[in-house]
Each structure stands twice: as structure tokens, then as C-alpha cells.
Amino acid sequence: MNRRDFLISTSLLSLCMGGGLSSAAHASEGEAVIVLGRQESGSANYDPIRSVSLNMASALIYDRLVEQDPGDQSYHPHLAQYWETSQDGLTWTFKLRQGVTFHDGEPFNAATIAWWIPKFAGTENEYMTSAIDHVEVVDDHTVRFLMKRPEPNLIYNLASVNMGVPSPKSYDAAGDGGYGVIEAVGTGPYKLESFVVSQETVLVANGDYAWSSDLTGGTPNINRLTMREIPDASTAFLELKTGGVDLLLDIPTDFLPQLKAQPEIEFRELPSYGVTFVAMNTRIPIFSDMRVRQATALAIDQGAILKSVYGGAGKEAHQFLVGTLAEAKVDPTVEIHHDAAKAGKLLDEAGWAPGGDGIRVKDGKPMKVKLWARADTEYRRMAEIIQAQLKAVGMAADITIFDEGTYRAEFKKKDRELVIEPYSWTNADILDSFFSAKFMDGWNLSSWDDAKSEELNERAMHGSATWEERVANFKKYHENLLANFLGVPIHEPAQTLAFNSTRLSLPDRLRMPLTMVDMIVK
């Protein structure tokens, strides 16, 4: 799921070039209205156990045992005061925070965890707890997870939005499939007041909240949060302009210059959350030659794309993982950087001779490839720039654009050659999804099937007893994939939010969605 999916209408440009923000009041002193990013729209419920699509409101309704800082990917205690892992990775012990209560008044304790973990069995989220054999209650505020196998990635799973802990009493009372629409009961800083699917969620502050993690300031400053879903970007900006909303998440980069002309609008850039890369299908004859793959990778200039398409927002990507991950700290010699001169030499070595029209030729055939992209404005522009950069080294790229409704199916067709693919994920296991041979019919767009790579992947995914071992194993796997030039890392997007500074005050360092607790209405 990509987090930069706003469709930009031409009416937005004229809107942004208009007058300043209205000071029209839409809410009381203690209320703020927020527009969710389009990628978070459409959640059917707030059931963290069964749902596969939760928006940021869920992270405010429910607390987790562990929280992850989106800035440096570090882990912090929350409902668990601390935890320990045995050397063999088969026992995890959690000391639980005392004095925590659910919104319905029920206590949070070890019995809660013993009830909660087995609830994931048979759901689409079962994979997050499948390595846990059973939960052992040591005392009222201590539990042990006895593992079927070592799973150092459990810490990442426990920090995910789906691992928010619901009230056993309220959850069971709602019955199968009935929880999460009318009622959603957690221990979080906000309570659910109302929810209308695909329209809005209203949250009210939990006045008893006294157990925040060290990533937030504590008790919510704003009494009431209304989170609206407005799929049309121009409508959302009109609401910000006229004072109907206070904050917009995920602003299209095309219009940042015009929006920055509005003196009342301030911006914040959130940490990178994924990578856009170009996958090369190694089953296609032209890309079965690693020299051609390397030349293609070196021909693409990430810096030019960052400047021309994104106006400098985000970062250049030179590896397949988000740069803040430890597994992204690869040997610099395998990072992929622009070098057009070397690209030309590699194509010469591969037998592709310069042609009279500037397009290289081998065995009488011109060097032509297909370049596929999604219809979003940024990917169209990226494709055009890549087309020009490839032409500069003698490769002709024919661009095909696919709309939102068809690109997923089209990208998986076996005749793909070059595919611009963005992803949103902050865990190294995304490498398994994109490059493992077991996903040949899925998102292994490079069609990569290599014995050494599979060995390294298996060790990274299932052969680590500790987090440190997992990082080291994934780093080796990552370096192997980069060294085989299976794709071209292009860009690390950064989510940009805009807010009415006459209405809201935000902390300098944002850790969304937990930062919602620390916002202040002026």
C-alpha cells in the first residue's frame, strides 16, 4: 500500500493561489479536525485482531506492549514496562505496567494477555503471533511467551497497529464480527465516540490516561479529535483554507510551493516510510545479462528525479530498504549510484553497440524495453525522466501507464520488463516479498530465483535467534540482492502534513500518530 496516493485535480492549483486562510471557527477550544491521508481511508472497523486495514485512530484508541519510534525505528516500553528474551530466543518475558485500566473500567493485567494472544488464531493477522506456542501467566503483571521457534521479529509485530490490546470484556460481549464499529475499547489516550465508515471518526480524550510511553508527553491536550476522510484533494484543501479542518496528512508535493505561499499554513515532514524502485525482470532475455542490469541501474540518476519530481522532498534511495533501518546500512560498494559513463562501458562489454539513431544494437536488434508505471502524476513524471536517462546511454524505453484499478494485476504479468514500484513498509522482511522465489506469482517483479539468494533469505527470515542476528542476516541478504542489480532504488518518500498554525501548535519532532496526544489547540 503506497502512502502517496492523492489524486491531484487541476482545480487545486487555482485554490492554492487564492487568498489566505479564513479564521472561521468550526469547533470549540478543545477540538481539532484532521483529514486522514487517502491511504488510511476506508477502514471498515476498529477491530485490531481481525481487521487488515486500520487507520491512525486505532493507535490512539489502543495501547501496545511496545511502541516503535518512526524516526529511528527504535523500540520503547509501553504496556510492557520492560521485556527480556532468552539466549535461544524461545522465551520472552514481559513485566506489565500496573494501574492501567480499559475505557470500560476493566483492569489490564497478565490475564488480559493470556486471553489476547490466542484470539489471533484463524484470522488474517495470525502470522503476527504464529511463533508463540502459548502464554504463561507468572503473576498478575508478568507473562511469558513460550515460542515454537525463535522469532526476533516478534518485537516489530508487537509494535504494529494491529497489536493494540482491546478490552476482553467488551470484545467478547460484541461477539464474532460485531466489534469495532459501535464500540472499540482500549487503554489508549482517546476513546471512540462515533464512527461512520468512509466518512469520519470522532474521538474524545481519556481523562484517566496516566500511562503514556516515553514517546509522548502524557495526557491528551485536545479534548476531541474528529478524523475525516476526504478522498478529493481539492476539497480537502478548500476545507483547510476556509477553516473547516485544522490539519491535512500527506500533501501532494506538486503543490507545496503554492501552499507555502499561505502564511498561516505550516508544514512538517515525517520520516521516510518506504522506497520507490524500478524492478527488472531477470527472465526477459535482455535483463538476464547482469551487465545490462548494472548498466540500467547506473544510467538512472536518483538526484535528478528527487529534484525534478519531488522538489527535493524525501531522499535519494541507493538501497532497497528505508535508510533508517539497520539492515539498510550495507557495504557502500554495493549501493547503487548514478554513473552514466560506466553504464555505457558495460553495454559495450555486453555487445550492445551504438546505433546511428543513438539506440544501441546487438545481433541486428535495437535495444528497446518496456517501462511500466502507475497513473499517479509523480510516477508518470518519473517514468518520463527515466526514459530520457536510459536513452542517453542508448536504451529506448516505451512507457505504458496503468490506472489505480488495474496496475496490481498488470504488474504481475510475465511480459513485464521494467516496473516502477513504490512500497510502504519499515521492516526488512519486505525483501522476502519482492525477491523470494516463493513469490514468483506475486510481487517478485524481478522474477529472481537464485540458490544463494534463497539460502540467505531463509537464514534471514527464519534462522535468527536474536534481533542482532536477524539484522546481520538481512544485511547480507540485502547486499546480495543489490550486488545482483535486480532493481534500481530511486526515492525514499517523506510524508508531508500541513496545518493551520493559527489553530494548532505541533511539537518540533513528530512521531505520528502518537504526536496527536501532544498537539495543542491555540
Read off the DSSP letter of residue 107: B
Average the pLDDT over 402-410 and give the result: 83
The mean pLDDT of the chain is: 89
- Region(s) of the chain under CATH 3.90.76.10: 54-168
- Region(s) of the chain under CATH 3.10.105.10: 274-492
Using DSSP, state whether 15 is helix, strand or coil.
helix
How far is it, in rounded angstroms, from Cα 368 to Cα 232? 38
pLDDT digits (tens, 9 = 90+) for 181-236: 999 999 999 999 999 988 999 999 999 999 999 887 788 999 999 999 987 777 88
Q: In angstroms, what is the C-alpha Rg of the chain?
A: 25
pLDDT for 19 equals: 41
CA-nearest of 173, 170, 198, 204 to 184 is 170
How far is it, in rounded angstroms, from Cα 38 to Cα 254? 16
Q: Which regions of 20-175 does DSSP assign to beta strands (E)?
A: 31-35, 66-68, 75-77, 80-85, 91-96, 132-139, 142-147
CB 191 within 8 A of CB 203: yes
pLDDT for 11 equals: 32
What is the DSSP pairing of strand 396-402 with strand 368-374?
A: parallel
How far is it, in rounded angstroms, from Cα 359 to Cα 391? 7
pLDDT for 254 equals: 66
CB 231 within 8 A of CB 209: no
CB 245 within 8 A of CB 48: no
482-485 LR contacts (CB < 8 Å, sep 24+) = 482/319, 482/320, 482/330, 482/334, 482/335, 482/336, 483/334, 484/290, 484/293, 484/448, 484/450, 484/453, 485/280, 485/290, 485/293, 485/294, 485/296, 485/297, 485/336
Cell of 434: 519482492
Read off the DSSP letter of residue 244: S
Q: Which residues of 116-140 are buried (b: 16+ CB within 10 A; e: fewer)?
A: bbebbeebebeebbebbeebeeeee
* Class of domain 1-41+189-270+497-522 as given by CATH: alpha beta
pLDDT for 255 equals: 66
How far is it, in rounded angstroms, from Cα 105 to Cα 95? 21
Q: pLDDT at residue 122 above 70?
A: yes
Q: What is the CATH number of domain 54-168?
A: 3.90.76.10
The total number of residues shown for the chain amounts to: 522
pLDDT digits (tens, 9 = 90+) for 56-94: 999 999 999 999 988 888 899 999 999 999 999 999 999
Q: pLDDT at residue 344 above 50?
A: yes
- Region(s) of the chain under CATH 3.40.190.10: 1-41+189-270+497-522
75-83 LR contacts (CB < 8 Å, sep 24+) = 75/155, 75/159, 76/213, 76/214, 76/215, 77/213, 77/214, 78/211, 78/212, 78/213, 79/108, 79/165, 79/187, 79/211
Q: In the block, which residue shows the cell 489547540? A: 521
Q: Dihedral of CA 82/109/224/12: which sign?
A: positive
- For 274-492, CATH number out of 3.40.50.720, 3.10.105.10, 2.30.110.10, 2.40.50.100 equals 3.10.105.10
Cell of 30: 478543545
CB 73 within 8 A of CB 133: no
